[in-house]
């Protein structure tokens, strides 16, 4: 592989590289020319910021690194820097994301196109270092766009596309890009790193039509409203709805440039499937293998991967599953007292019962045999825990 540096922060990469998901996220921020990088370290995302910090120190990335005292301060810095009109980036995980919660609502309420990578990890107690999706899904009502990635290439691609989506004047919402901790974050896969000139054509410099803050005229932001509050929330909702079309358009442009296809959902063997499992995240790779194995035996099974969790892709789910007889939803999360979070949304979307599977909490291995069991258990509107 040859790397050519044409000017500061500009790099041409001519072949694929074997990099972990954390490295892919860092490359996405570098290619997007993020300018402000506030961070507080937490396993398993720390390597993302270590890569970026090393590039900044060596002059390979033209950005400012801000070491903050907590994740709450990280999110505050992201909001402030974005309010000035700069392109910002950071990453977190698990308890760190929880500490950001207060400011997550502020960032989305101010309509700031912040990009945050969340390396999903189960929430304590008890403490686990392995991945499930509760940390990300706790934030599902915070007004952030949410993307769940299946592999490291999608991580890099989603970070770059994320800026173009979030900065669109019809959207102007922050985006959280989720990758499974250790399963992706520490696993090396072949990833194609696009040429910097290509990315610059695809994603021009951030040029907001308005900024909230001006360093030359310091001010406090956080005005009080009364009856108007509902109007602001309706605008947030409208922007979230608008994002569906913008995501589709940006993904189509990305496919034309790179040949890699993304959307709101990913259907696998959709045409004649009689039984389908719905899933999000990197476990979809093993589920695809299971689908191939069962279809080789003549079983008409398929998979639907939810790539966007917010906006929730209800119309795409209906299109994909309207003719499917038996549907199951795999939740690597749990809302105690309610059940699987994704299954609840899918049921409401379809207006019919589905079989809800709770599996993989705290990174517990699922595997092919358990997926085969799930396909056999479809057809009942029940919740099942798969240990």
For the chain, the domains span 3-258, 265-385
**Architecture of the domain spanning 3-258:** 3-Layer(aba) Sandwich (3.40)
pTM: 0.94
Give the burial string for 184-210 (b: 16+ CB within 10 Å, else e).
Answer: bbeeebebebbebeebeebbeebebee
The candidate with the shortest Cα–Cα distance to 342, out of 134, 173, 182, is: 134
The token pair at 240 is 């979230």
Give the C-alpha separation, 33 to 262, whole Å.
22
Kindly compute the dihedral angle of the four CA atoms of residues 240, 244, 249, 254, in this order, to the nearest 10 degrees.
90
| Burial of residue 222 (number of CB atoms within 10 Å: 0-12, 13-18, 19+) | exposed
| Burial of residue 33 (number of CB atoms within 10 Å: 0-12, 13-18, 19+) | buried
Strand 301-306 versus strand 275-279 pairing type:
parallel
pLDDT per residue of the chain (387 residues) written in tens, 0 to 9: 444 444 445 544 446 999 999 999 999 999 999 999 999 999 999 999 999 999 999 999 999 999 999 999 999 999 999 999 999 999 999 999 999 999 999 999 999 999 999 999 999 999 999 999 999 999 999 999 999 999 999 999 999 999 999 999 999 999 999 999 999 999 999 999 999 999 999 999 998 877 777 778 877 777 788 899 999 999 999 999 999 999 999 999 999 999 999 999 999 998 899 999 999 999 999 999 999 999 999 999 999 999 999 999 999 999 999 999 999 999 999 999 999 999 999 999 999 999 999 999 999 999 999 999 999 999 999 999 999
CATH of domain 265-385: 3.40.50.920
Do 265-385 and 3-258 fall under one CATH topology? yes
The candidate with the shortest Cα–Cα distance to 21, out of 115, 209, 148, 123, is: 148
Assess contact for 312 and 345: CB atoms under 8 A. yes
The token pair at 33 is 């020319």
């Amino acid at each position: 592989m040859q790397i050519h540096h044409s000017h500061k922060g500009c790099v041409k990469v001519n072949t694929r590289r074997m990099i972990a998901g954390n490295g892919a996220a860092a490359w996405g921020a570098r290619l997007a020319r993020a300018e402000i990088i506030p961070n507080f370290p937490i396993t398993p995302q720390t390597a993302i910021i270590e890569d970026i910090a090393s590039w900044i120190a060596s002059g390979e990335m033209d950005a400012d690194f801000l070491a903050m005292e907590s994740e709450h301060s990280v999110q505050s810095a992201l909001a402030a820097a974005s309010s000035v009109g700069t392109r910002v980036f950071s990453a977190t995980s698990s308890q760190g994301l929880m500490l950001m919660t207060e400011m997550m609502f502020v960032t989305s309420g101010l309509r700031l196109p912040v990009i945050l990578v969340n390396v999903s990890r189960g929430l304590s107690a008890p403490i686990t270092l392995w991945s499930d999706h509760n940390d990300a899904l706790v934030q599902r009502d915070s007004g952030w766009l949410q993307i769940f990635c299946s592999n490291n290439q999608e991580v890099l691609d989603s970070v770059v596309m994320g800026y173009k989506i979030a900065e669109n004047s019809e959207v102007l919402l922050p985006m959280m890009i989720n990758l499974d901790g250790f399963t992706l974050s520490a696993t090396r896969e072949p990833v194609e790193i696009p040429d910097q000139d290509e990315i610059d054509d695809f994603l021009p410099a951030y040029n907001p039509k308005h900024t909230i803050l001006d360093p030359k005229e310091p001010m406090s932001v956080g005005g009080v409203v009364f009856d108007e509050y509902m109007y602001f929330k309706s605008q947030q909702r409208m922007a979230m709805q608008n994002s569906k079309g913008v995501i589709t358009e940006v993904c189509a442009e990305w496919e034309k440039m790179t040949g890699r296809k993304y959307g709101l959902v990913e259907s696998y063997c959709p045409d004649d499937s009689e039984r389908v499992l719905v899933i999000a995240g990197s476990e979809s790779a093993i589920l695809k293998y299971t689908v191939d194995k069962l279809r080789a035996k003549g079983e008409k099974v398929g998979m639907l991967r939810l790539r966007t969790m917010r906006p929730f892709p209800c119309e795409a789910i209906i299109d994909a599953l309207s003719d499917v007889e038996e549907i199951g939803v795999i939740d690597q999360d749990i809302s105690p007292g309610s059940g699987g979070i994704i299954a609840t949304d899918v049921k409401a979307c379809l207006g019919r019962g589905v079989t809800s599977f709770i599996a993989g909490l705290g990174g517990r291995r699922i595997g092919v045999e358990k997926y085969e069991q799930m396909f056999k258990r479809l057809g009942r509107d029940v919740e099942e825990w798969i240990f």
